[in-house]
Amino acid sequence: MGHSVSKLLGRINNCHFPFISKGCGFYRAKGGFSGDSPSLPAPPAQGCYPESEGFFSNSHPSEPSSGMNKLIFANLLHRPVRSVISVLAVAIEVIMILSIVGIFMGMLNDTKQRTNGIGADLMMRPSNASVFAGVSGAPMPDKFVEVLRKLPHVAVASPVIQKLNTAGKIEVLYGIEYPSFNALKPFVFVSGGPFQGPNDAIIDDIAAGADGGHLVGGPITIMDRSFRIAGIVEHGKGGRKMLTIEKMGELMGSEGKASLFYIKCDDPANDKAVIEEIHSTRGLEDYPVETVDEWLAEMTPEKLPGFNIALDVVTFIAVVVGFLAIFQSMYTAVLERTREIGILKSMGASKPSIVGMVLRETAVMALAGVLLGIAGTFGIKLLMAHLFPMQHFEITGLWIAKGSAIAFAGAICGALYPAWMAARKDPIDALAYE
């Protein structure tokens, strides 16, 4: 029992409260029960009532004051294990929500940044192809590139094969025609240079730092095949691992094919004219062409496969965990503090005061859990950057606010029934509770 309530209990035999213990029963200070003396005890000394200690104000006895706040913190500290478990439950709830969002949003925005860094103005994709890279195979003939290069205002056209690789780690592999792909926006080599042979690979500096590190001239395994690293480039352009388009087509069984074509115009103002020219060319009428900016606008979480489902499932599980942890903690706490609640009610605490006490105690634990969860999420981000350097993990202020609000609301909801149960306790029955 908290220190503040212990102090009050120590005064119960010396003070005049609305309800005073007498043997196995209780009598009212005014009137009494049958057979009791109706006379009143002498008025109490100054400071006997809890109002003088600041627990309830004289003018508003139903409103808890700073003394009640002290009681709340005393109760939390008196039961440290239960308080810590409740805080950890809320923290785990926040970490679960922010982590699933961080992984999905990281993948999405990383793909957008690296595609935008290719340097193209337009993209021509297969009909009915997904906006997400690497999931539609390579259904288009790579000979289309010769037709595209002859169109007015087309400065560069480059065929690319994209392959979504899920073996070991999720990544999008690129098969490129080096001269044209480099012409879109030149690579910045950290070391090494272009492909020297069909079994060469180009990787970016982030991929070079993964799996213990890679050096130019050393081996790297891609799609269960060993390749020689010809060059290491700065990240931000295309895939983290790139092969020749011929070798990628061979590995996929799509020789002479392409997943999409990147197009650079002689002037960005001619984008629409080039799109019209492509759609006016025989054989290319049905292939969708869009600007890179339009494609970037389509890359939203709602279009990410499974994002909303995964987020809803994880959020539901997280809320249930937090709700049950807080419910169990506060329900048990109310049962253990039945006599304490009875004393508070006998001293004039109203139902709203009791409810407020329980909810404020919950709010303190929820707030601590939210802050711990946010800190824990940043810790996970640092850990993932060390263990999985190619996995981008993004935490945004918006999702921090959303995750915190969900966890806080779930905790408060978990305390509503215990708070209501505490408020409706009868003070006479509560004081008789052992």
Q: First and final CA of the chain: distance in angstroms?
A: 13
Question: Residue type for 142, please?
Answer: D
Instruction: Report helix, strand or coil for 426.
Output: coil
As given in the structure block, the two tokens for residue 117 are 């860094």
Lowest-confidence region among 180-189, 307-316, 403-412: 307-316
Q: What number is the average pLDDT over the span 273-298?
A: 90
In tens, the pLDDT along 105-118 reads 888 888 888 889 99
Which is higher by pLDDT, 266 or 56? 266
Among the listed residues 404, 369, 340, the one whose alpha carbon sits nearest the alpha carbon of residue 83: 369
Q: Are residues 325 and 383 in the same domain?
A: yes
Question: Is residue 152 a contact partner of residue 278, using CB atoms and an 8 Å limit?
Answer: no
Residues 404 and 12: their CA atoms lie apart, in Å, by 42
Does residue 268 belong to any structural domain of this protein? yes
Q: Are residues 130 and 278 in the same domain?
A: yes
Residues 415 and 408: their CA atoms lie apart, in Å, by 11
Q: Are residues 174 and 272 in the same domain?
A: yes
pLDDT interval class at 71 (50, 70, 90): low
In tens, the pLDDT along 30-64 reads 334 333 444 444 444 444 444 444 444 444 444 44
Does residue 87 belong to any structural domain of this protein? yes
Does residue 302 belong to any structural domain of this protein? no
Helices and strands in the chain: count of H runs, count of E runs = 14, 14
Q: Are residues 283 and 314 in the same domain?
A: no
Q: Are residues 371 and 239 in the same domain?
A: no
286-to-158, 187, 280 alpha-carbon distances in Å: 19, 32, 10
Question: Is residue 150 a contact partner of residue 284, using CB atoms and an 8 Å limit?
Answer: no
In tens, the pLDDT along 416-425 reads 888 888 777 7
Q: What is the DSSP letter of 32?
A: -
User: What does the mean pLDDT of the chain come to?
Assistant: 79
Residues 354 and 26: their CA atoms lie apart, in Å, by 22
Q: What number is the average pLDDT over the span 363-386?
A: 91
Q: Is the pLDDT of residue 171 over 90?
A: no
Q: Are residues 273 and 394 in the same domain?
A: no
Instruction: Report helix, strand or coil for 118.
Output: coil
Task: Label the pairing between strands 260-265 and 225-233.
Answer: unpaired
Q: What number is the average pLDDT over the span 68-88?
A: 77
H/E run at residue 171? strand 171-176
Q: Is the pLDDT of residue 14 over 60?
A: no
As given in the structure block, the two tokens for residue 24 are 């196995």
Does residue 112 belong to any structural domain of this protein? no
Q: Are residues 316 and 421 in the same domain?
A: yes
Question: Is residue 53 a contact partner of residue 67, using CB atoms and an 8 Å limit?
Answer: yes
Does residue 118 belong to any structural domain of this protein? no
Among the listed residues 172, 96, 179, 119, the one whose alpha carbon sits nearest the alpha carbon of residue 145: 179
Among the listed residues 405, 322, 396, 308, the one whose alpha carbon sits nearest the alpha carbon of residue 93: 322
Does residue 360 belong to any structural domain of this protein? yes
Question: Is residue 317 a contact partner of residue 304, using CB atoms and an 8 Å limit?
Answer: no
Residues 29 and 346: their CA atoms lie apart, in Å, by 12
Does residue 260 belong to any structural domain of this protein? yes
Residues 200 and 178: their CA atoms lie apart, in Å, by 12
Q: So what's the pLDDT on residue 228?
A: 96
As given in the structure block, the two tokens for residue 171 are 């990544």
Q: Is the pLDDT of residue 262 over 60?
A: yes
Q: Is the pLDDT of residue 409 over 50?
A: yes
Q: What number is the average pLDDT over the span 255-275?
A: 93
Q: Is the pLDDT of residue 100 over 80?
A: yes
Does residue 119 belong to any structural domain of this protein? no
Q: So what's the pLDDT on residue 286?
A: 87
Q: Is the pLDDT of residue 305 over 70?
A: no
Which is higher by pLDDT, 263 or 347? 263
Q: Are residues 313 and 422 in the same domain?
A: yes
Q: Are residues 283 and 135 in the same domain?
A: yes
Total domains present in the chain: 2
Q: What is the CA radius of gyration of the chain?
A: 34
Domain final position from 254, 287, 320: 287
Q: So what's the pLDDT on residue 42?
A: 43
Q: What is the DSSP letter of 233?
A: E
As given in the structure block, the two tokens for residue 162 are 């994209």
Find the farthest-apart pair of alpha carbons in the chain and give their distance in angstroms, rounded: 113
Question: Is residue 354 a contact partner of residue 345, using CB atoms and an 8 Å limit?
Answer: yes
Instruction: Report helix, strand or coil for 141.
Output: strand
Q: Are residues 135 and 227 in the same domain?
A: yes
Range of the domain at 150: 126-287
Q: So what's the pLDDT on residue 68?
A: 62
Q: Are residues 161 and 248 in the same domain?
A: yes
Task: Please state the separation of Cα 63 from the chain's center in Å.
Answer: 37
Domain final position from 235, 258, 287: 287
Q: Is the pLDDT of residue 21 over 70?
A: no
H/E run at residue 19? strand 19-22
In tens, the pLDDT along 323-353 reads 888 888 888 877 777 777 777 777 777 788 8
Q: What number is the average pLDDT over the span 208-227?
A: 89
Q: Are residues 147 and 265 in the same domain?
A: yes
Question: Is residue 159 a contact partner of residue 245, using CB atoms and an 8 Å limit?
Answer: yes
Q: Is the pLDDT of residue 172 over 70?
A: yes
Q: So what's the pLDDT on residue 373?
A: 94
% of the chain beyond a pLDDT of 90: 34
